Amino acid sequence: MTIFFAEWNAEYEKYMINTWQQNTDVVLNNKLMKHFRDINLTLYKRHIPRKWFIKLSKYIKLRKLKNEDILVCNGFSICGFIDLVKTVQCHRVLIIRDTIDVLNNAMKVKKKWMLRNEDYIEKIIPYFDRIYSFDFDDCKKYNFVYLNQFLPFSFAEMKRLRDSISANKHNKKICYFIGEYWDDRAKIIDSIAPLLNKNNCFTDFNLINYNCEEKPNLSQNLQYYNICHKISYFENIEKAKHSDIILEITQKGQTGITLRAIEAILLNKKLITNNKSIKNYDFYSKDQVFILDDNENLNNFLKSDFKPVPINNLYKYSSDAMLETIKNTFISNI
């Protein structure tokens, strides 16, 4: 049984899969959309028959897949090549790390991989044997299987990261954030940054503008954050290691946590988040996690000590645990 990861293109995803390949029968296939996505979408929009184009592309790109193999797609990129995997003869798995609302908007507005009248659930979901999601509400609404948010690190790497943490020797505490620019995020930063500064906490807040040609609608208080370009995932980890507090700002309606939350817990940092559902996680502690709904208590939170979560409790958030979950889903049928 071979596990094929299709179009996992983020830097940290490639790192994760390349690490597995050293000891596991795992293949990274990031060429499915090449010469397919744009041509296929053009033919589709012009109502030109695509049957033979899809059939030829499928043979070229997926002919190595066997019935017992597992094809793992991610929720974001799948819209670019769903027509290739609809009928492929193997186990098909979809891992969704965004909410369905976010995906519908991204696929129609940003990527334009779906037409305005299309729906992600109808276009994608029927073609997978197992669908995992990190979001509690989406799992309930669409009958997905819940999967813990996972870091791109093996458990052994997580242990080494935990051991490498040293105390911050700065006089001021540092609160760190990096993420894509959204107006809602800017507003939250504008409200929390003055409170942190007032409590002798330096803020290192960075909002990424992915489209450098278009400036986002900046809020009035630009002094509280930087507009920056994307940094590597490992640069992000280094900045997190040298901070005291990590800020997490999730999308409205999101009930699953982001990588920032797991990074904070692994690296023994305090976490400030707007995600109230974080109370449902086993690592939650009011001494280490502050939820942005009672800012009057922020001062006490910043001054308090906390007991680090035991490293063995974090195995479930490792890449090992994710891969094990996928394998165990189908191994009994082989």
Interval 25-40: pLDDT, tens: 999 999 999 999 999 9
Mean pLDDT across the stretch 229-244? Answer: 92
How high is the pLDDT of residue 222? 66
Residue-wise pLDDT tens digits, 149-163: 999 999 999 999 999
On whether both 107 and 182 belong to a single domain, the answer is no
Output the average pLDDT for the chain: 91
On whether both 185 and 209 belong to a single domain, the answer is yes
Least confident of 72-76, 183-187, 241-245: 183-187
Residue-wise pLDDT tens digits, 174-232: 999 999 888 888 889 988 999 999 999 999 999 987 765 455 555 445 678 778 778 89
How high is the pLDDT of residue 296? 73
Are the beta carbons of 276 and 254 closer than 8 angstroms? no
- What token pair was written down for 50? 């695509």
Q: In angstroms, rounded to a whole number, what is the distance separating the alpha carbons of residues 60 and 41? A: 19
Q: In angstroms, rounded to a whole number, what is the distance separating the alpha carbons of residues 334 and 323? A: 17
On whether both 252 and 169 belong to a single domain, the answer is yes
On whether both 111 and 172 belong to a single domain, the answer is no
On whether both 90 and 189 belong to a single domain, the answer is no
3-class secondary structure for the chain? Answer: CCEEEECCCCHHHHHHHHHHCCCCCEEEECCCCCCCHHHHHHHHHCCCCCHHHHHHHHHHHHCCCCCCCEEEEECCHHHHCHHHHCCCCCEEEEEECCCHHHHHHHHHHHCCCCCCCCCHHHHHHHHCCEEEECCHHHHHHHCCEECCCCCCCCHHHHHHHHHCCCCCCCCCEEEEEEEECCHHHHHHHHHHHHHHHHCCEEEEEEEECCCCCCCCCCCCCHHHCEEECCCCHHHHHHHHHCCCEEEECCCCCCCCCCHHHHHHHHCCCEEEECCHHHHHCCCCCCCCEEECCCHHHHHHHHHCCCCCCCHHHHHHHCHHHHHHHHHHHHHCCC
Are the beta carbons of 250 and 229 closer than 8 angstroms? no
How high is the pLDDT of residue 333? 55
- The CATH number for 306's domain is 3.40.50.2000
How high is the pLDDT of residue 219? 47
Highest mean pLDDT among 185-189, 241-245, 328-332: 241-245
On whether both 323 and 309 belong to a single domain, the answer is no
On whether both 110 and 14 belong to a single domain, the answer is yes
pLDDT surpassing 80 at residue 81: yes
| Size of the chain, expressed as the number of residues it contains | 334
On whether both 280 and 162 belong to a single domain, the answer is yes
Amino acid at 304: S
Mean pLDDT across the stretch 83-108? Answer: 95
On whether both 302 and 291 belong to a single domain, the answer is yes
How high is the pLDDT of residue 217? 55
pLDDT tier at 293, thresholds 50, 70, 90: confident
Print the domain residue range for 126.
3-150+318-331
Are the beta carbons of 206 and 228 closer than 8 angstroms? yes
- What token pair was written down for 117? 């009248």
pLDDT surpassing 80 at residue 92: yes
Q: What percent of the chain has pLDDT over 90?
A: 78
How high is the pLDDT of residue 287? 94
Amino acid at 218: L
**Interacting residues of 110 by C-beta distance below 8 A, sequence separation 6+:** none
How high is the pLDDT of residue 165? 84
On whether both 58 and 79 belong to a single domain, the answer is yes
How high is the pLDDT of residue 55? 95
pLDDT surpassing 50 at residue 128: yes
pLDDT surpassing 80 at residue 45: yes
Closest CA to 72 of 272, 256, 327, 333: 327
pLDDT surpassing 80 at residue 239: yes
Of residues 309 and 21, more confidently modeled: 309
Q: What is the number of structural domains in the chain?
A: 2
How high is the pLDDT of residue 213? 47
On whether both 222 and 284 belong to a single domain, the answer is yes
On whether both 22 and 72 belong to a single domain, the answer is yes
How high is the pLDDT of residue 114? 93
Burial of 221 (0-12, 13-18, 19+ CB in 10 A): middle
